[in-house]
């Protein structure tokens, strides 16, 4: 055999070998991480170090087929985690680093940080990562961050961890913050911190945002912040943030802020927090600066304990500086700062200068010599009452000027239900602002949206003033739970029932419940329906009892009032009730008349708009006791009596099941019914005599519709818009204004907007005169 001669298939064999090797080489080490659980450290791990796992994630990403969990074996790891954007990470394909035994004391990730590696965990545009049940500690003496978020790190969670920064005597540098999020154009949003302990550092959490890049979705819940040298929380441009259930304290003799929230708009939730400082340094327990909510989405600060001590410099328990639409409910604000210039609570009023701030059920106490409360801009206050004010110094509060006592204070503010009592805080120096003064029990006003206190104890009605609900009042008390929606029926037909509950304690008499006229009540399951119910007390108690309410009107119209629950010595409780009834009980279908010469009735309307309004809203201006709507139950024909109707008519989509809605001359002659209107010359919004705006299956037949008046620019007769479909304009006399213009549809007889899908409409057998 010639050794220089290849076998016949050797060329193909070598080619295949080279290809296979090439493929194997190309894909070796580049496999995406599949869903599942992997180990770090310990015996025979999937990854020896955190860095190994991070490199694999950065290089290959995850497969996107479900969660990826890294269980960390017990031990101390001198390492760090640098993550970038991880391919295929998502809400369902998320990444978790956690202690294998779910015990944060058994896994410690530590590193001597420096300029080159400024934090132990860097999330650089990283999404959907959770770190939990670990201790993470910075060992350096500069650039000692623990967690950095930047370049759009979103939807990350940090839970049940010990996060330990540099032990600083003073300082507010960002590089020493335990958590730091930079103010870049790419937002770090939807990040959550929950059940962690933040120890030392210059800041616990510092998230900056910017005026052009406000961040959202940040939640900080149930954490402990201990001994930060500058700020427990420093938060800029964090719209709609939730800060709830945290404790914040520091023993540093420096200027310290518990909660600093700056230019953060939207509906803020600041609740159930305990913030205190008992050292000589100055500071603010809570500082809110120019945080703007809206009337429809208000901010809420409630159920917080805040106490600040100090002997020099600035010292406020809480300071709200030009914030809008914010509610301060059920808070205990306390100060023992020795300066007479400062206060337990200060507000500079609303940023827009109008009354948008509500202050109710709070305790304001200053035992250091300053004000209990200082209101710098009274125009910003919308509501203030049911508060307790106590000050050991000369001045109780400031409202346009210093007010030395309760009489002077209430004369200025108009409060009728506030108190001047020492609440008897348990241990302010250690943040315990539970009260001992029983006179605050039941002295507040019910805030329906807030059902419990700072300890999650249920609040009775009336509640205790302050964040701490002390317990069951000793005086007679009626509690009502539930509200009623509006009833609607026809005369002689009772509605189905709605319910609320009543209970009483410490009673000296029975509870009498009485509804207003046209409403009936009964004890559920007992009956009969009637005009009163008596609940008999036993040993001063009426157990929770369900009361049924129905509307059984004897006359048509609108009826409203209060169901009153009363007992001797107890504050009566009311349940608002309202109903509306019609003389008409038949189904809304068939033939009706429109005749101004006849009285309004279930079958006759005096104007075309009354008929339209009844179908749309169940209201009519000719006589609102004869309504059939809203909505219709079948085909409806409105026969219009002869005459001239000066009306502008807009028909929207009518609810119900029907084949058609017909408006027609009663005589069948379009000369007998004239609908005319002079369109206002103020633009296209009101440029129509008849507008079908989203209407369906409406027929207009055998009438004259005419644009009249002196105006010459906006003179449209019929306008079809808003996805109006399957309508008919047929056998009518349609008359526009005489014009020489041809350049737009403002002077048209019939126009259909091109901005909508106005399909399947029929326009036939009409006479069209004038118009553009």
438-442: average pLDDT: 88
CA-closest candidate to residue 378, choices 413, 328, 407, 409: 413
pLDDT of residue 745: 65
Residue 26's pLDDT band (boundaries 50, 70, 90)? Answer: very low
Q: Does domain 479-582 have CATH number 3.40.1010.10?
A: no
pLDDT at residue 212 tops 90: no
CA-closest candidate to residue 649, choices 679, 621, 670: 679
Q: State the Cα–Cα distance between residues 25 and 244, nearest whole angstrom.
A: 53
Residue 8's pLDDT band (boundaries 50, 70, 90)? Answer: very low
pLDDT at residue 434 tops 90: yes
pLDDT of residue 13: 37
Q: Which residues pair with 552 in a beta bridge?
A: none
Q: State the Cα–Cα distance between residues 674 and 636, nearest whole angstrom.
A: 21
Residue 473's pLDDT band (boundaries 50, 70, 90)? Answer: low
pLDDT at residue 455 tops 50: yes
pLDDT tens, residue by residue, 537-549: 999 999 999 999 9
Contact (Cβ atoms closer than 8 angstroms) between residue 705 and residue 737? no
Q: Which residues contact 418 (CB under 8 A, 6 or more apart)?
A: 385, 386, 387, 388, 389, 406, 409, 410
pLDDT at residue 707 tops 50: yes
Report phi then psi at 312, rounded to 5.
-155, 160
What tokens were used for 749? 């007889």
Supply angle C-alpha 357, 361, 362, rounded to 5. Answer: 80
451-457: average pLDDT: 93
H helices within 331-387, ranges in order?
Answer: none
Q: Which sign does the torsion angle of CA 727, 732, 736, 740 carry? A: positive
pLDDT of residue 317: 92
pLDDT at residue 152 tops 60: yes
CA-closest candidate to residue 688, choices 721, 723, 649: 649
Of the listed ranges 606-610, 666-670, 707-711, the one predicted with least confidence? 707-711
Residue 173's pLDDT band (boundaries 50, 70, 90)? Answer: confident
CA distances to 303, 657, 670, 683 from 720, in Å: 55, 22, 21, 16
DSSP-assigned letters across all residues of 238-279: EET-EEES-EEEE--SS-EEEEEEES--S--EEES-EEEE-S
pLDDT of residue 15: 39
Strands (E), 461-541: 477-481, 487-490, 498-505, 511-514, 519-523, 533-535
CB atoms within 10 A of CB 196: 27
- Superfamily for domain range 32-208: Single-stranded right-handed beta-helix, Pectin lyase-like (2.160.20.10)
Label residues 627-645 b or e (16+ Cβ within 10 Å = b): bbbbbbeeebbbbbbeeeb
pLDDT tens, residue by residue, 335-378: 998 888 889 999 987 655 577 899 999 999 999 899 999 998 88
CB atoms within 10 A of CB 607: 19
Secondary structure of residue 87 in the 3-state scheme: coil
pLDDT of residue 676: 95
What tokens were used for 618? 């169940």
pLDDT of residue 577: 95
pLDDT at residue 753 tops 80: no
Of the listed ranges 193-202, 302-311, 638-647, 739-748, the one predicted with least confidence? 739-748
pLDDT of residue 353: 57
pLDDT of residue 23: 35
Structural element, H or E, at residue 288: strand 283-289
pLDDT of residue 21: 36
Q: Which residues pair with 407 in a beta bridge?
A: none
pLDDT at residue 154 tops 90: yes
Mean pLDDT score of the chain: 90
Task: Name the CA dihedral angle for 243, 246, 249, 254, rounded to a multiple of 10 degrees.
Answer: -20
What tokens were used for 422? 């020492």
pLDDT of residue 312: 76
451-461: average pLDDT: 92
611-628: average pLDDT: 93
Secondary structure of residue 217 in the 3-state scheme: coil
Residue 1's pLDDT band (boundaries 50, 70, 90)? Answer: very low
Q: How many CA atoms lie within 13 A of 432 on its CB side?
A: 5
Contact (Cβ atoms closer than 8 angstroms) between residue 194 and residue 224? no
pLDDT of residue 471: 58
pLDDT tens, residue by residue, 242-299: 999 999 999 887 789 999 999 999 999 999 999 999 777 788 999 999 999 999 999 9
CA-closest candidate to residue 608, choices 650, 560, 548: 650
Contact (Cβ atoms closer than 8 angstroms) between residue 713 and residue 746? yes
Structural element, H or E, at residue 206: strand 203-207
């Amino acid at each position: 055999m010639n050794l220089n001669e290849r076998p016949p298939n050797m060329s193909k064999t070598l080619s295949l070998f080279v290809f296979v090797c090439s493929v194997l080489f190309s894909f070796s080490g580049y496999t995406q991480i599949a869903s599942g659980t992997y180990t770090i450290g310990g015996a025979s791990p999937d990854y020896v170090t955190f860095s190994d796992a991070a490199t694999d994630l950065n290089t290959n990403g995850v497969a996107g087929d479900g969660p990826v969990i890294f269980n960390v074996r017990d031990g101390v790891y001198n390492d760090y985690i640098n993550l970038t954007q991880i391919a295929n990470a998502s809400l369902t394909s998320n990444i978790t680093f956690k202690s294998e035994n779910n015990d944060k004391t058994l896994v410690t990730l530590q590193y001597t940080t420096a300029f080159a590696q400024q934090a132990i965990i860097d999330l650089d545009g990283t999404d959907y990562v959770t770190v939990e049940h670990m201790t993470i500690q910075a060992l350096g003496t500069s650039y000692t961050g623990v967690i950095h978020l930047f370049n759009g790190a979103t939807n990350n969670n940090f839970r049940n961890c010990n996060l330990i920064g540099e032990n600083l005597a003073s300082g507010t540098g960002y590089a020493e913050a335990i958590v730091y999020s930079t103010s870049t154009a790419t937002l770090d949003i939807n990040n959550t911190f929950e059940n962690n302990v933040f120890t030392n550092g210059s800041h616990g959490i510092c998230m900056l945002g910017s005026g052009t890049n406000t961040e959202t979705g940040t939640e900080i819940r149930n954490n402990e912040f201990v001994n930060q040298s500058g700020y427990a929380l420093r938060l800029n441009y964090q719209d709609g943030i939730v800060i709830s259930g945290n404790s914040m304290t520091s023993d540093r003799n420096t200027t310290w802020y518990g909660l600093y929230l700056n230019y953060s708009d939207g509906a803020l939730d600041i609740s159930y927090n305990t913030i205190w400082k008992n050292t000589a340094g100055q500071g603010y327990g809570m500082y809110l600066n120019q945080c703007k909510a809206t009337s429809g989405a208000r901010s809420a600060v409630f159920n917080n304990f805040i106490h600040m001590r100090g002997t020099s410099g600035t010292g406020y328990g809480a300071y709200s500086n030009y914030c809008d639409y914010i509610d301060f409910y059920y808070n205990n604000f306390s100060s023992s700062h020795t300066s007479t210039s400062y206060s337990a609570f200060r507000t500079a009023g609303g940023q827009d200068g109008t009354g948008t701030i509500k202050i109710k059920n709070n305790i304001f106490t200053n035992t250091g010599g300053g004000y209990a409360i200082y209101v710098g801009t009274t125009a910003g206050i919308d509501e203030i009452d049911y508060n307790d004010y106590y000050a050991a110094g000369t001045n109780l509060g400031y409202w346009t000027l210093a007010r030395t006592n309760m009489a002077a204070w209430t004369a200025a503010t108009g409060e009728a239900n506030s108190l001047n009592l020492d609440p008897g805080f348990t241990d302010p120096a250690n943040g315990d602002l539970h009260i001992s003064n029983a006179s605050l029990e039941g002295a507040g006003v019910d805030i329906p949206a807030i059902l419990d206190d700072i300890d999650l104890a249920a609040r009775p009605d009336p509640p205790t003033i302050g964040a701490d609900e002390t317990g069951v009042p000793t005086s007679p008390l009626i509690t009502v739970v539930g509200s009623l929606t509006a009833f609607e029926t026809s005369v002689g037909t009772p509605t189905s029932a709605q319910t609320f509950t009543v209970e009483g304690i410490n009673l000296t008499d029975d509870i009498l419940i009485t509804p207003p006229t046209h409403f009936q009540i009964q004890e559920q399951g007992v009956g009969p329906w009637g005009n009163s119910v008596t609940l008999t007390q036993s040993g001063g108690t009426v157990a929770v009892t369900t009361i049924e309410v129905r509307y059984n009107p004897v006359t048509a119209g609108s009826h409203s009032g209060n169901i009153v629950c009363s007992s001797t010595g107890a504050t009566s409780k009311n349940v608002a009730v309202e109903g509306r009834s019609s003389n008409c009980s038949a189904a809304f279908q068939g033939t009706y008349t429109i005749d101004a010469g006849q009285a309004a009735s279930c079958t006759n309307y005096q104007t075309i708009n009354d008929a339209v309004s009844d179908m749309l809203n169940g209201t009519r201006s000719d006589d609102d006791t004869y309504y059939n709507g809203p909505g219709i139950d079948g085909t409806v024909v409105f026969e219009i009596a002869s005459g001239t109707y000066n009306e502008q008519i807009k028909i929207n989509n009518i609810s119900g099941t029907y084949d058609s809605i017909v408006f027609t001359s009663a005589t069948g002659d379009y000369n007998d019914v004239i609908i005319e209107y002079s369109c206002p010359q103020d633009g296209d919004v009101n440029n129509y005599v008849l507008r079908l705006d989203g209407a369906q299956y409406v027929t207009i037949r055998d009438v004259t519709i005419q644009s009249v008046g002196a105006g010459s620019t906006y003179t449209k007769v019929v306008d079809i818009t808003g996805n109006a479909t399957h309508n008919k304009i047929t056998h009518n006399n349609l008359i526009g204004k005489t014009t020489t213009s041809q350049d737009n549809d403002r002077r048209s007889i019939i126009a259909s907007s091109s901005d909508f899908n106005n399909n399947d409409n029929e326009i036939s057998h009409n006479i069209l005169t004038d118009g553009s």
